[in-house]
Amino acid sequence: MRSLPFFLLLLAHSAFCQVSPIAHLNSPRGNISIDFRIDQERVPQWRVSGPGGTLLTWSRLGLTLDHGRPLTSGFTLVDSSTVEHDETYPVVAGKSKQARDHFRELRVTLEESAMPHRRLELAFRAYNDGVAFRYVLPDQPSLAAFGIIQENTEFHFPEDLKAWAFQINTFRSSYEGLYLPTMLSAIPDTGLVYPPLTLQRSDGVTMSITEAELTDYAGMYFRGMPGTALQVALAPRLNDGNICVRGRTPFPSPWRVIMIGKKPADLIASTIIENLSSPCAIQDVSWIKPGKAIFPWWPNFFSDKPGVASKLGFENQKYYIDFAAENNIEYLELEPPWYGDETGCIEHPEKYDITKPVPELRLPDLFEHARKKQVGIFLWAHWENVDRQGDDAFALYKKWGAAGVKIDFMNRDDQEMVQWYHKTLKKAAEHRLMVYFHGAYKPTGTRRTYPHLLTQEGVLGNEQNKVTYLATPEHTVTLPFTRMLVGPLDFTPGGFRNATAAQFKPDYNRPMVMGTRCHQLAMFVVYESPLEMVCDDPGAYRNQPGLDFIRDVPTSWDETVAIDGEIGEYVIIARRRGEDWYLGAMTNWTAREIQIPLSFLGQGEYLAEIYEDGPDADTSPTQVAIATKTVTARHSLVVRLAQAGGLAVRFRK
């Protein structure tokens, strides 16, 4: 790891004119730049340029506190500095084995011209794949304890843009929704849009706005403004009037991030969210083990084994553990009703005890059987129980031999809940328990700091196929360019009851999935999740084409190459683990022929094991054609993707 700081004065420390001198900051390659100024009303503003010219026009910055004038105008510049930083750090689990954090930063200190002369710092970073800024309230005599009522951050764009907006319209949510195409100008000033918000210019230049290093602050949302602009809204604290954030100086906000690429696929391999987050806080990470997990809840604990009931119990979970052990699936996810009735556990968590398993589960025997089969167990728990019982429960779970915990139904991202996430992650790390947040807000880079956070939900995934028609192929090929940009997503892929649009219907007990078998196989490569659910039951997989691909595919990667794609249309991604490469391609309801250059491969020959849609997959979506061929980096694959089809390939060295 190396850091190369140097300081350049970009702003003159002379007397101000009516409009201050502009501070200009280039990214290390010079392809992206940030400008900063204070306008005639002494309002701080920033502007961003990149591929094709101006991406963000002059946009106002500031904070409104619970006392005193808003920190939005009347400023003078008192100090500025720049620094360049270049560091490569290891990644415990994710899209790459290591990440490069290379940026240039401009930091300005502003002071109110009038009493009480409060100070506000702004830090801007220019990366080669995006930009970010944050507010810092420094330690100062005139400002100690404070509350933030509003963040006056605006994003003004020079033209109308296509937008893929998750219009959530509430601060209390499971964050499972559709990123639907619209125009930036059509986003209303009422309601709420949830990040990431992906935007595309007519020439293909693509941006996605989100946040990073959310640790002690309220979650960020967007509202429309007149024209082609957005303003930030913050989740309010519970029972605290109009206060969104409370703190004491010195106090930093999260980073407000704009990912930038010439085309949509350019955003996928970016590590900017993790780069902006605090380094790993865990000294020994050897116990953190990514892997796949069998998910008996999805098929409602279905069993086709004679004498084994299709309900949670010792024999049922033993049956799933045995299947996992036979098929290189490292974990079992133990869902409710392991400590009580599922509905009761969800609706009345105060009535249940997460240290007392139901007797019919014979939990000590189940853990012993799993240990012999070398299958780890993740235990589900409602967050309110974890909040109340976490100290005792986590110690007990580790004593039982649990690998981790799945914590559910937080459904908030106000400041107090954000603090709770971090407190819980610290507590889990003390007991060497990996964590999977369900009913969770979007990732914000926390996994760099706490790499035992393997995945998060906050995504509309295969779970919805039990009860809705929402998990369409258009949605599944939109996610890589929206929700997945900010971190792992627990989509729970691997449904083998594949259906056409006409065949599909929600089924709680034996769920179907829309699209072909290969569409689901490709998800194991396309969707990033170091803990990847394998959602279907053993009977659905046994002796079926495609199971061997699931058996072999890793969940954490040394390298990621996003080859091509159009938002909501199709996506092609390659990922490497060791010497072997894996490739996934998915399309919406439109069948298409694609040509994939294999230039990402290393030197020499590879044996390609190809799983593609069968010739009749448009109407028989379970059909898979399997072939092998020898290829090199000079070759291309030409493949027809069926309607809602896919492609999954393993390249063995």
Residue 114: CB partners within 8 Å, gap ≥ 6?
A: 74
SS3 label, residue 206: strand
Q: What is the pTM of this model?
A: 0.96
Residue stretches of the chain with pLDDT short of 50: 1-17
356's tokens: 């007392």
SS3 label, residue 322: helix
How long, in residues, is the chain? Answer: 653
282's tokens: 């865990």
Cα separation, 210 vs 474, in Å, equals 22
Model pLDDT, residue 22: 83
Q: Are 484 and 268 in contact (CB under 8 A)?
A: yes
399's tokens: 């004593």
Model pLDDT, residue 21: 61
264 upstream amide cis, omega within 30 of 0: no
pLDDT in tens, 96-145: 999 999 999 999 999 999 999 999 999 999 999 999 999 999 999 999 99
473 upstream amide cis, omega within 30 of 0: no
Model pLDDT, residue 20: 58
Q: For residue 101, which of 268, 249, 278, 251 has the smallest C-alpha distance?
A: 278
pLDDT in tens, 447-488: 999 999 999 999 999 999 999 999 999 999 999 999 999 999
Model pLDDT, residue 433: 99
| C-alpha 214, offset from chain centre | 13
Model pLDDT, residue 582: 99
Cα separation, 313 vs 303, in Å, equals 11
Dihedral, CA of residue 189, residue 191, residue 192 and residue 193, to nearest 10: -80
Model pLDDT, residue 1: 34
Domains of the chain, each with CATH number or no CATH: 23-275 (2.70.98.10), 460-528+555-653 (3.20.20.70)
